[in-house]
Structure 1
């Protein structure tokens, strides 16, 4: 909490000092311009380097105290800070502050392009902060952005083109759980010529389609929809969904006359919301979800909150297939191949066989370039789709 408050206090101090100056500072080089510092600041925000981004936006305002995108950048930082604070007066104050910065930026905007920058940033900021009325605020900025005419896209150093507004509205609706509106906004971007926001819009649109396709066939909706929109899923999420959706006790119960017992229950599982499901996974020694030794704790832990990578999910899916089918040859079927169908997975890697098994059985997919992305975190949509496809493959009921 103190870290967030100190960051926010420093941010406001820099903004106020820059805004109060009657004249801008003299540039020290050809690159020392407000648009350049604003662009670099936004790139730093995307990279998660908020402290350096703050410095860049502050310099933009030092050079031009009326530079609207500088206020917009500062507002986005303040909104990210607000979203990270717990409910209470500090969060309310941070929310009021970033909205004041947005309003100031919009009032000082000298061109349609600058007004557009503030409007799009308003959508992003409200989505990041998510207070009780964030959707209404998002719609307000969307309406402002849509009526701006004659936007010079060459004067949008970061956003580049006007499709940015529809992309970030699509993200907002996605995070609000309104997939129909999200697809409507994203579809307008996907249908345009390739530009900066075409690829991310296409990726998010495809993700929504996966969620809808998988969730339409789910029975445990309370669990599945809570997981669906996650950017990454945890080991506990995977355990819960597999156990509940595949009815694992019944599915695996057919394989053994006597139900096995977990060798032990890791200390970090006791009291967890998904303790029952995790213990069920441990009973059957499902590969990819085994406990691992933690040197700090000096104990075998399950690490329920750790994200699951795509290669780990491939190992888990393969192991369930092997257990249900009884076909042990699946575990080595593709080892020894000279060439891999995937540029980012070598035939000599431990997860290679599992990756080929799950892709050829349509349990998981490659991206448009044919890469499997083994090290990437598995997202909620991918998890839903993989488990529902596995359920159909093993005839779980």
Structure 2
């Protein structure tokens, strides 16, 4: 009996120790004045826009190593996981960011995109709109840039939901905020081409053509339906090549 109690005590002690170590993750010391969570996050977002996902993840990880409770870094990671189609990890990172800072609305915008990828378009649209409305009272320093990202994401969600007029309006709001925004300008042009490509086509085609990546299974569906493959591959968004640094 005494042996059992001793084993139980040791097990509980070990468990509490491990939990304590995890909760008290030690931050590394900054190597220089530019080695800060904020600077690494900003670099990561720039690299994310350039579709250099491996380099972006490295910067976000550096931010976390300096401050494990730095909410923006986890939001940045959520976007990378979204690009990798890892929706579970993307949702986890978005939620973790919001747990650490409930006013970091960019994490809500990322979470809205996750919901859209899950096919929960109504929830995604509501969350994206709520995030945009919350921007004035948020902890995000650049409110205008946050609005740009918010409306850009909302446009993407509308497009995925086959709500083309609403998508165009959202992209238009981006250009109102940033007249030189090339992404929004390209999105409007791509949307027009996309609408032309799927006009009068079956819902299966519309869903596949709106995807960033077309899988072998999608191609099999297109062959089975005898749909215009050449037109689809020409008009559909092209996949990006990215990988993590070794």
- The normalised TM-score by structure 2 is 0.66
Instruction: Measure the CA separation in 2 of the matches of 1:275 and 1:65.
Output: 50
Q: Which residue of 2 aligns with 1:204?
A: 187
Shift of the 106–141 alpha-carbon distance from structure 1 to 2, 3 Å rule, reads farther
Instruction: Measure the CA separation in 2 of the matches of 1:102 and 1:223.
Output: 30
Shift of 1:193: 4.1
Tell whether the 8 Å contact from 2:112 to 2:123 is kept in structure 1 after alignment.
no
What is the SS of the residue equivalent to 2:76?
helix
Runs of 5+ unmatched residues, structure 1: 1-15, 85-93, 241-270, 282-303, 309-377, 382-397
Instruction: Measure the CA separation in 2 of the matches of 1:176 and 1:143.
Output: 18
Tell whether the 8 Å contact from 2:194 to 2:235 is kept in structure 1 after alignment.
no
Q: Which residue of 2 aligns with 1:339?
A: none
Q: 2:111 aligns with which of 122, 125, 129?
A: 122
Q: 1:144 aligns with which of 117, 121, 131?
A: 131
Runs of 5+ unmatched residues, structure 2: 1-18, 238-246
Shift of 1:32: 1.0
Tell whether the 8 Å contact from 2:135 to 2:147 is kept in structure 1 after alignment.
no
Tell whether the 8 Å contact from 2:198 to 2:205 is kept in structure 1 after alignment.
yes
Instruction: Measure the CA separation in 2 of the matches of 1:139 and 1:49.
Output: 30
Q: Which residue of 2 aligns with 1:73?
A: 76
Shift of the 54–211 alpha-carbon distance from structure 1 to 2, 3 Å rule, reads closer
Q: 1:274 aligns with which of 223, 229, 232?
A: 223
Q: Which residue of 2 aligns with 1:168?
A: 153
What is the SS of the residue equivalent to 1:191?
helix
Shift of the 17–203 alpha-carbon distance from structure 1 to 2, 3 Å rule, reads farther
Shift of the 179–107 alpha-carbon distance from structure 1 to 2, 3 Å rule, reads same
Instruction: Measure the CA separation in 2 of the matches of 1:43 and 1:186.
Output: 20
Q: Deviations over 1:28-73 (max 9, x none)?
A: 1222111221122234444444443332212101212221101212
Q: 1:225 aligns with which of 206, 213, 216?
A: 206
Shift of the 179–139 alpha-carbon distance from structure 1 to 2, 3 Å rule, reads same
Shift of the 120–233 alpha-carbon distance from structure 1 to 2, 3 Å rule, reads closer
Instruction: Measure the CA separation in 2 of the matches of 1:132 and 1:276.
Output: 23
Shift of 1:25: 2.4
- Are 1:182 and 2:167 matched, yes or no? yes
Tell whether the 8 Å contact from 1:167 to 1:189 is kept in structure 2 after alignment.
yes
Instruction: Measure the CA separation in 2 of the matches of 1:51 and 1:18.
Output: 28
Tell whether the 8 Å contact from 2:71 to 2:100 is kept in structure 1 after alignment.
yes
Instruction: Measure the CA separation in 2 of the matches of 1:41 and 1:59.
Output: 10
Q: Which residue of 2 aligns with 1:104?
A: 96
